[in-house]
């Protein structure tokens, strides 16, 4: 009797497929659509009962990275912190979505090196389009000199050289870009 129960439990465990944890790392200019697309993916993954967390750059800066400025050193520290938390989540079977500008290639590569399953998503958007959709008025303030070291204006953005996924956010809707990402993740055995 006990052996039959153990066999039944063992068989049930083999039927349940364990979720693959990975980091979906968005990078791109402010206003490129990283957060918008990330929230769409978050909702879609939750509807599929997947374990998922979103580490949004603005939210992380308010909580995990409070007190950091926007110098290169502080930005790198912020990205390392996001990468560390994303890695903890991913290695425990969670989809970790990050949405932070992460403007410097070297720190993105450093974060990539700490992950087993890292998918870089480049939210490619022209500076002109990002400025047009700037609901927070950050570009206007940066151009007026009110925000020093603003990515794309007074501080560089280094485009990824070989991202796994590039979504051109100047074209199509955020929902279409989210579906493009889901298709890639499905075709490459992440989902």
Write the pLDDT tens digit of every residue in 28-43.
999 999 999 999 999 9
This prediction has a pTM of: 0.86
User: What is the DSSP secondary-structure string of 4-22?
Assistant: HHHHHHHHHHHHSPPPPPE
More confident site: 126 or 70 = 126
Is residue 122 predicted with pLDDT exceeding 90? yes
**Within a domain: residue 147?**
no
Tell me, yes or no, whether 90 lies in a domain.
yes
% of the chain with per-residue pLDDT over 70 = 91
Q: Is residue 15 part of a domain?
A: no
DSSP lists the bridge partners of residue 155 as: 151
Q: Answer yes or no: is 105 within a domain.
A: yes
Judge whether 190 and 117 are in contact, CB under 8 Å. Answer: yes
Chain segment 128-184, per-residue pLDDT in tens: 998 898 888 888 888 888 888 888 887 889 999 999 999 999 989 999 999 999 999
CA atoms within 13 A on the CB side of 138: 17
What CATH number is associated with residue 43?
3.40.50.300
Count the domains in the chain.
1
Active site residues: 102
Calpha distance 19→88 (Å, rounded) = 15
What domain range includes position 116? 21-130+156-187
63 has pLDDT over 90? no
Does residue 14 form part of some domain? no
Classify residue 28: in a domain, yes or no.
yes
């Amino acid at each position: 009797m006990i052996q039959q129960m153990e066999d039944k439990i063992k068989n049930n465990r083999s039927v349940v497929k364990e979720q693959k944890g990975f980091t979906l790392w968005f990078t791109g200019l402010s206003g490129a659509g990283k957060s918008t697309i990330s929230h769409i993916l978050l909702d879609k993954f939750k509807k599929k009962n997947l374990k998922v967390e979103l580490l949004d750059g603005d939210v992380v800066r308010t909580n995990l990275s409070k007190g950091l400025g926007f110098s290169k050193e502080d930005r790198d520290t912020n990205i390392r912190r996001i990468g560390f938390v994303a890695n903890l989540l991913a290695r425990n079977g969670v989809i970790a979505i990050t949405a932070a500008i992460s403007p410097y290639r070297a720190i993105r590569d450093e974060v990539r090196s700490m992950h087993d399953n890292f998918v870089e998503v480049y939210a490619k958007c022209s500076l002109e389009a990002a400025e047009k959709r700037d609901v927070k008025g950050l570009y206007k303030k940066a151009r007026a000199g009110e925000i020093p070291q603003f990515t794309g204006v007074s501080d560089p953005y280094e485009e990824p050289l070989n991202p796994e996924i590039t979504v051109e956010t100047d074209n199509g809707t955020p929902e279409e870009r989210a579906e493009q990402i889901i298709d890639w993740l499905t075709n490459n055995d992440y989902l």
